[in-house]
Chain A
Amino acid sequence: MTKASPKHPLSIPFASPVNLSVSEAIKHAVLILGAVVVILPFYVMLSYSLKAPNEIERNVGGFFGAQAPMVNERCMKRGEPEQAAINAALPDHPGKTAREVKAILSAPVEAACTTRPVVFNYSMAFSEAPLLRYLLNGVIVTASIFFIQVLVALPCAYALAKLRWWGREAVFTLVLFCLLIPVHAIALPLYIMLSKLGLTNTYAALVIPWTISVFGIFLMRQFFMTVPDDLIDAARMDGMTEFGIIWKVMLPTAIPALLAFAIFSVVAHWNDYFWPRIVVTGNRDLFTPPLGLREFKGDADGSFFGPMMATATVIVMPLIVAFLLAQRRFIEGITLTGMK
């Protein structure tokens, strides 16, 4: 049939064009206002990560700041000439006071310590705290969580969807019940159990509670239900074992669902703060990115706004950039929970 496909649900062509453009303009005005509020903290974060401390404090310099060269005080402190060196250098500069000599001796240090604010902020972000380590931890933790979740959930989902066995309904009911339990809520008993096992402050503690994704099982089961039985029977006829079927037949067909689940899982665990906060105490080597940022904030004095915002930017950006590159997939993945 003929398809008239206006983008919006109803385009009755006879609404007066004047009214239409006025209401359209109002809608855009409201939406733009909303967008400004939504963008504001991102703007602040990026802008502060670029600007010099004095610009941040006085709120000047627009988005980029003047980028005037600035002296890194900490770097200066470290490079400051010793009193003995000043005394030794005094005879070389007849007629000058110790203060002046110190200034002369500091000059090369000062030159070395002078940078643009943006360089200062980002280099401090990486040098004042082991930010790279945090990022690496984030990758290790989110990747292992996802990997184990799939390892556990895929066979279970296959058995629930495509095999017939005694007790299947009971297990599926159990899955549906477990869907109701928010893991964050049972953090205390989990924490006690892990600490009894001596596992706090390990990668294991960060990963173990998330190894079972009931949601993943549910999602994959729903997906496998749509895979035709004939495909599996054909694989059996070809002599594949059930185990082989899962990894060689079901896994490849499930790639789209798996990708969406991956996004769902990675976003949740990269951004998670509550659980790492509980099981990792003090050991910086295990900090995930949000924990690292929190630690940075705890240490910060007034002049460290810039580097802290640089850290925040570094932590937030990977997911934001990935999202901007593959929006549709991300929105699908994140709203997967809507399928329940």
Chain B
Amino acid sequence: MAGIALTTITKSFGPTPVLRGIDLDIRDGEFLTLVGPSGCGKSTLLRIIAGLESQDSGDVQLGDRLVNDVRPAERNLAMVFQSYALYPHLTVAENMKVPLRLRQLGFFERFPILGPLISGDKHRALDAAVSETAGILKIEQLLNRKPGQLSGGQRQRAALGRAMVRAPVAFLMDEPLSNLDAALRVHMRAELSELHRSLGATFVYVTHDQAEALTMSDRMAVMMGGEILQLDRPELVYEDPNDLRVAEFIGSPKINVLEGRADASGAITAAGVTLEDRIDAGTAPALKIGIRPEHLTLLPAPGEGVFSGQIVHRENLGADLFIHMDLGPTRMIVRCDPSEIQALEPGQTAHAVPQRGRALFFGADGTRIRPGAPVAPAVAAQVA
């Protein structure tokens, strides 16, 4: 087991740059998630770590070993594919035995009948390893079935089993949950986290689903346009995004973004309302204000620094209630207590005020403006 270090990785497909100089240091035993919208380069980055794709420039290091010129089979990484990529003609047990067979048996030992005859002990050892792994994943009763006879979740486990059966340097996972239905996905999230804890292995996990990234990772790297915009613990990425794009991508429902102006003193006006929070004088005249729905509080009446607008839509999720307010140029989503539902009929006017210090300010180019601090550097992908 080892960490993974990437240094200034670039990659283009033809004229299209896909990765623009990625630096990433994945710690030994860490669960690191690469998250971002489609086409952000996260899968390509994973495949470069695996060796299935070669980088145009930059270095990949596994532990102390530089593996730029090492083919995937020799890197001793395990990968779980989005489609699971189980061998359809082999049973689950045979599928799980493949990586052991290919690595630990010689040419003749792999022959169907001859193999067990000349080295029965080795074969028995491999079978034992398979059933042990199957025990951990609770798929013993599936071992003799073929992938076509399994449900999506069972295939997922079989694919995990094939990856786990040998001790790889790290596990690479390419959207492994995206083919499962919603309920199973939530369940598997918990199970993958537990598995990670019990194995103590390095996991590199690619997903476009911010919820998976938030729930499972030790650290998450938010990627967009071939760059890592922010690499941090999930709660920090959520609470303290470096970039408007990160703030917008992480969080559901999406963060409210308002166009605002700051006067010479740093007082901010948005949608005709002057906010309580202010920025340092002279930082930026035009800015964007991000306010998460749960950082807004409903008030019974309008007032200073309060947004007022007609309720145009109401979403009741049971535990949470979201209302959509029409502010004229834009809409604003506010999380409220479901007990207040009676008072929040569409068509009525609601009043909401941002909680103090919770509004996030971004410059016109999307970089975060922190009150009382100098403007943050554009890309904060440096590694702790």
Q: Which residues of A contact B (CB under 8 A)?
A: 1-4, 12-15
Interface: B148 (CB within 8 A):
no
Contact residues in A for B47 (Cβ distance below 8 Å) = 4
- Establish whether residues B13 and A12, one from each chain, have CB atoms under 8 Å apart when the complex forms: no
Most buried by B among A1, A3, A15: A1
- How far does the Cβ of B365 sit from chain A's closest Cβ, in whole Å? 26
Of all chain B residues, the one with the shortest Cβ separation from A13 is B54
Of all chain A residues, the one with the shortest Cβ separation from B46 is A2
Q: Mark B21-50, 1 if CB is under 8 A from A, else 0.
A: 000000000000000001101011001000
Given the interface pairs A1-B38, A2-B18, A4-B53, the reply to whether A12 lies near B71 with Cβ below 8 Å is: yes
- Establish whether residues B43 and A14, one from each chain, have CB atoms under 8 Å apart when the complex forms: no
Q: How far is the CA of A310 from the CA of B314 in the complex (A)?
A: 82
Partner of A14, one of B39, B51, B82, B175: B51
- How far does the Cβ of A10 sit from chain B's closest Cβ, in whole Å? 9
Main secondary structure of the interface of A (DSSP, over half): loop
Given the interface pairs A4-B47, A4-B53, the reply to whether A14 lies near B13 with Cβ below 8 Å is: no
Q: How far is the CA of A15 from the CA of B74 in the complex (A)?
A: 12
- Establish whether residues B69 and A4, one from each chain, have CB atoms under 8 Å apart when the complex forms: no
Of all chain A residues, the one with the shortest Cβ separation from B53 is A4
- Establish whether residues B72 and A12, one from each chain, have CB atoms under 8 Å apart when the complex forms: yes
- How far does the Cβ of A272 sit from chain B's closest Cβ, in whole Å? 39
Given the interface pairs A1-B38, A4-B44, the reply to whether A14 lies near B53 with Cβ below 8 Å is: no
- How far does the Cβ of A213 sit from chain B's closest Cβ, in whole Å? 34
- Establish whether residues B41 and A2, one from each chain, have CB atoms under 8 Å apart when the complex forms: yes
Contact residues in B for A13 (Cβ distance below 8 Å) = 51, 53-54
- How far does the Cβ of B209 sit from chain A's closest Cβ, in whole Å? 13
Contact residues in A for B82 (Cβ distance below 8 Å) = 1
- How far does the Cβ of B26 sit from chain A's closest Cβ, in whole Å? 20
Contact residues in B for A15 (Cβ distance below 8 Å) = 71
- How far does the Cβ of B239 sit from chain A's closest Cβ, in whole Å? 29
Q: How far is the CA of A14 from the CA of B54 in the complex (A)?
A: 8
- Establish whether residues B38 and A14, one from each chain, have CB atoms under 8 Å apart when the complex forms: no
Contact residues in A for B54 (Cβ distance below 8 Å) = 13-14
- Establish whether residues A14 and B18, one from each chain, have CB atoms under 8 Å apart when the complex forms: no
Contact residues in A for B44 (Cβ distance below 8 Å) = 2, 4
- Not counting A1-B38, A3-B13, a sample of 8 additional A-B residue pairs whose C-beta atoms are within 8 angstroms of each other reads A1-B82, A2-B18, A2-B41, A4-B13, A4-B44, A4-B53, A12-B51, A13-B54
Interface: B150 (CB within 8 A):
no
Q: How far is the CA of A2 from the CA of B208 in the complex (A)?
A: 12
Given the interface pairs A1-B38, A4-B13, the reply to whether A12 lies near B52 with Cβ below 8 Å is: yes
Contact residues in B for A3 (Cβ distance below 8 Å) = 13
- Establish whether residues A2 and B51, one from each chain, have CB atoms under 8 Å apart when the complex forms: no
Q: How far is the CA of A12 from the CA of B71 in the complex (A)?
A: 7
Q: How far is the CA of A257 from the CA of B64 in the complex (A)?
A: 59
Interface: B186 (CB within 8 A):
no
Q: How far is the CA of A2 from the CA of B71 in the complex (A)?
A: 21
Q: How far is the CA of A14 from the CA of B53 in the complex (A)?
A: 9
Q: Mark B47-63, 1 if CB is under 8 A from A, else 0.
A: 10001111000000000
Interface: B70 (CB within 8 A):
yes
Given the interface pairs A4-B47, A4-B53, the reply to whether A14 lies near B41 with Cβ below 8 Å is: no
Of all chain A residues, the one with the shortest Cβ separation from B52 is A12
Q: Mark B61-103, 1 if CB is under 8 A from A, else 0.
A: 0000000011110000000001000000000000000000000
- How far does the Cβ of A23 sit from chain B's closest Cβ, in whole Å? 15
Of all chain B residues, the one with the shortest Cβ separation from A5 is B13
3 closest pairs, A vs B, by CB?
Answer: A13-B54, A14-B71, A2-B44
Of all chain B residues, the one with the shortest Cβ separation from A1 is B43
Q: How far is the CA of A13 from the CA of B54 in the complex (A)?
A: 6
Q: How far is the CA of A4 from the CA of B51 in the complex (A)?
A: 13
Q: How far is the CA of A63 from the CA of B170 in the complex (A)?
A: 63
Q: How far is the CA of A275 from the CA of B158 in the complex (A)?
A: 56
Q: How far is the CA of A2 from the CA of B226 in the complex (A)?
A: 11
Contact residues in B for A1 (Cβ distance below 8 Å) = 38-39, 43, 82, 175
- How far does the Cβ of A1 sit from chain B's closest Cβ, in whole Å? 5
- How far does the Cβ of B16 sit from chain A's closest Cβ, in whole Å? 10
Q: How far is the CA of A15 from the CA of B52 in the complex (A)?
A: 11
Most buried by B among A2, A4, A12: A2
- How far does the Cβ of A100 sit from chain B's closest Cβ, in whole Å? 80
- Establish whether residues A2 and B43, one from each chain, have CB atoms under 8 Å apart when the complex forms: yes
